[in-house]
Structure 1
Amino acid sequence: MSAFSAIGEEREIDRDEYTPTVEPQATWCPGCGDFGVLKSLKQALPEVGRTPEETLLVTGIGCSGKLNSYLDSYGFHTLHGRALPVARAAALANPELEVIAAGGDGDGYGIGGNHFVHTARENHDMTYIVFNNEIFGLTKGQTSPTSPKGHKSKTQPHGSAKTPIRPLSMALTSGASFVARTAAVNPNQARDILVQAMEHDGFAHVDFLTQCPTWNKDARQYVPYTDINDSEDYEFDPTNRADAQELMRETEDKLYEGEVLTGIYYREDDRPSYQEEKKQLGELPEEPLAERYFDEDYDWERSYDRFIDQHK
C-alpha cells in the first residue's frame, strides 16, 4: 500500500495508531507543556479522520522538534527555522496529505520568522503549531522572541531590554486566514482548536502556550485561563478582522500581566488557499506531482528543458 492508496480510505481510526513502537514514551522534562501538545494532536487527528499514512508532521529544532519522534506518521525533521518551507513544498506536491508544521517560539518567531510571515501571506493550506514557552529550552534557557521585557537569562543576565513579539497580531497582519491560541493546561480546548485548524482550508496558525518548568521557572503556568469563545466578557466576531485585531492586542498585553486568554481569534473561510490560487492560474497540476513517483510509465519533465526550449 502506497501513501496514495491509503489516502481517502474510510475506516475507524484509533489514537493509539499514532503511538510509535520504537520510542513510545516521550522524554521531555517532567511537567513540560509539550506533553499537552502531543496528547491534543493524537486526539485531534482521528476526529479529523486522518490516518498516520495520510499525515505529515514537519518539525524544526528544539524540544518541540522531537514531536515527530513521538507521533507515528510521516515526519521530516528540518533545520532550525526551516519547517515551513519544507511543509509548503510537501503540501504543493501532494495536496491530499494532512500537513502539519511545528516548532518553538525561537524556531518559528525568531530564526524562521521570515518564513512564517510569507507562509501566512500566501495562505498555504497547512496547520502551524508553535510551542510558545517564552524561552529557548533545548539550548538551556536563553531569551527568546516571546520572553517578557526584563526577563533575566544566560544571554540577558541584566534583563531583556526587548519588547516581546506579538505572535497573534503578527499572524493576522501577515495574512493568516486562521489564528488561535491555546494552552497545554487546557487539553480539551487544544484538541478542538487543532481539529478546526486542520479542517480549515488555508494557513492555520496555533500559538500553543507550553510551560517550561526546567528553564523558565519564572513564567506562569498559563492558569487560570479564559476561553474568549465561551466567556460572556468577550463578545466579538472571529470573522471580523478589526474585532480580532483589537482582542489580539488585549490578549498579548494581558499575558504578561498574569491573565491568560485563549481561543479562536480569527478565521476567514471563504479565502482561497495558495494551492487553489495556483490551480486557478493553471500553475498547479490537477494530478498531484508526488503521484508521478508511482507511475512507471510517466515521462519525467525537467524544469531546465523548458528554459532550453525558450532559447533555441
Structure 2
Amino acid sequence: MSAFSAIGEEQEHDRSEYTPGLEPQATWCPGCGDFGVLKALKGAAAELGLAPEEMLVCTGIGCSGKLNSYFESYGFHTIHGRSLPVARAAKVANDGLTVVAAGGDGDGYGIGGNHFMHTARENHDMTYIVFNNEIFGLTKGQTSPTSPKGHKSKTQPHGSAKDPIRPLSMALNAGASYVARTAAVNPNQARDIIVEAIEHDGFSHIDFLTQCPTWNKDAKQYVPYIDINDSDEYDVDTTDRSTASQLMFETENALHEGTVLTGRYYVDNNRPSYQQEKKRTGEIPEEPLAEKYFDDEYEWDRVYDTFLDKHK
C-alpha cells in the first residue's frame, strides 16, 4: 500500500478541514494581514480539492512562521530564511506533494534572499508566499528590506537611508515563472492567485501585502488597491516578460507613493520545472523517493558504493 495514497485522488474538501485541532485559533495581533493569507490559503486548498495529507507548508521565522501551525497539513517550521531549501528537498523527494513555502519580507528577501534567487532560477515546482508588511514584526518593529526610504524604526531612528528592494522585479530577473502580488484586503483575488500559483508547473512567487497594525502603522491597510488585470488603465500581457518588467517597476514605485497595484504580472507556462528537467535526465525517479522509505523490500542504492567500486 502506498504511504501517500491520498495524493492524486479527486475529492471534495471544505475549508474547515484545514483548521487544526491543536491550534485552531491564530494568535496574530487583531487586524494583522496574516489572517488574510491563512483564509486565502484555506480557500485555495478547498477549491483545488487538496486533502491536508497532500500538502506540505514550510515556514521560516517570524509572524508568518506560524502559518503551518494554523493550517492543517504536513508542516515544517525551519530556521530564519530557510523555508525554501527544505521545501525544495521535500518536492524532490516526493514530486506528488503540493509544496507551499512561506516567510516574511525580512525572512524571505533578507536573510533568505540567496535561497529565493536560486530557487527562482532553478524553477522548482512550488508556491512561495512572502508576507510583505515592510517591517520585522515578531522582533518588534525593526526596518526590513522592503521598508521605504526614510522609514524610522528602532534600528533606523533617523530614517532608513536605503531604498527598499523590488521583490517582483527580483523574482522575474531571477527566473520565477509565475509572479504575482496580492493583498490581505483583497481576499477573493488572493485566493484565486494562490489557486493559480499552486496549479502552475514551476516556481510561483506571490508577494502578499499584509498590513501590520502594531509595528508598522505607516503602511496602513494597503488601500485603495487597483487590480491591474481588471483595470482599463493597464494593458497587461502576462506572457510578455519585457512588459511585465516595466509594470513591476511601476508597481514597486507606486506603492510608496500611495497607489497599491496588485494582480498577475508574469506567467511562463512553457518553461520546464526543475523536477521535469531532472526526470528527463533520469536524476529523479518516476517513483517518489519518499515512497521507498515505506518499502521494506527495497534495496537502497548507496552513493558511497559507487565511489568504492572505482577504487577497488
Give the TM-score taking structure 1 as reference length: 0.99
**Equivalent in the alignment of 1:252:** 252
Structure 1: runs of 5+ lacking an equivalent: none
Q: CA RMSD in A?
A: 0.9
1:291 aligns with 2:291: yes
- 1: CA distance between counterparts of 2:291 and 2:45? 23
Identity over aligned pairs, percent: 78
CA contact (8 A) 1:3 1:54 kept: no
Q: CA deviation at 1:47?
A: 1.2
In the TM superposition, structure 1's runs of 4+ consecutive aligned residues that sit over 3 Å from their partners are none
Q: CA deviation at 1:2?
A: 6.1
**What secondary structure sits across from 1:206 in the alignment?**
strand
The CA deviation string for residues 193-222 of structure 1, in whole angstroms up to 9 with x for no partner, is 000000000000000000000000111311
- 1: CA distance between counterparts of 2:252 and 2:217? 20
**Equivalent in the alignment of 1:163:** 163
- 2: CA distance between counterparts of 1:147 and 1:208? 15
Amino acid at match of 1:227: D
The CA deviation string for residues 30-87 of structure 1, in whole angstroms up to 9 with x for no partner, is 0000000000000001112211000000000000000000001000000000000000
CA contact (8 A) 1:59 1:65 kept: yes
**Equivalent in the alignment of 2:186:** 186
Amino acid at match of 2:105: D
Amino acid at match of 2:131: F
1:235 aligns with 2:235: yes
CA contact (8 A) 2:2 2:291 kept: no
Q: How many residues align?
A: 312
**Equivalent in the alignment of 2:302:** 302
Amino acid at match of 1:18: Y
**Equivalent in the alignment of 1:11:** 11
**Equivalent in the alignment of 1:128:** 128
1:192-231 aligned within 5 A: 192-231=192-231
The CA deviation string for residues 122-173 of structure 1, in whole angstroms up to 9 with x for no partner, is 0000000000000000000000000000000000000000000000000000
**Equivalent in the alignment of 1:146:** 146
CA contact (8 A) 1:54 1:98 kept: yes
Give the TM-score taking structure 2 as reference length: 0.99
Q: CA deviation at 1:23?
A: 1.1
**What secondary structure sits across from 1:5 in the alignment?**
coil
**What secondary structure sits across from 1:244 in the alignment?**
helix
- 1: CA distance between counterparts of 2:140 and 2:36? 21
Q: CA deviation at 1:286?
A: 1.2
**What secondary structure sits across from 1:230 in the alignment?**
coil
Q: CA deviation at 1:10?
A: 2.1
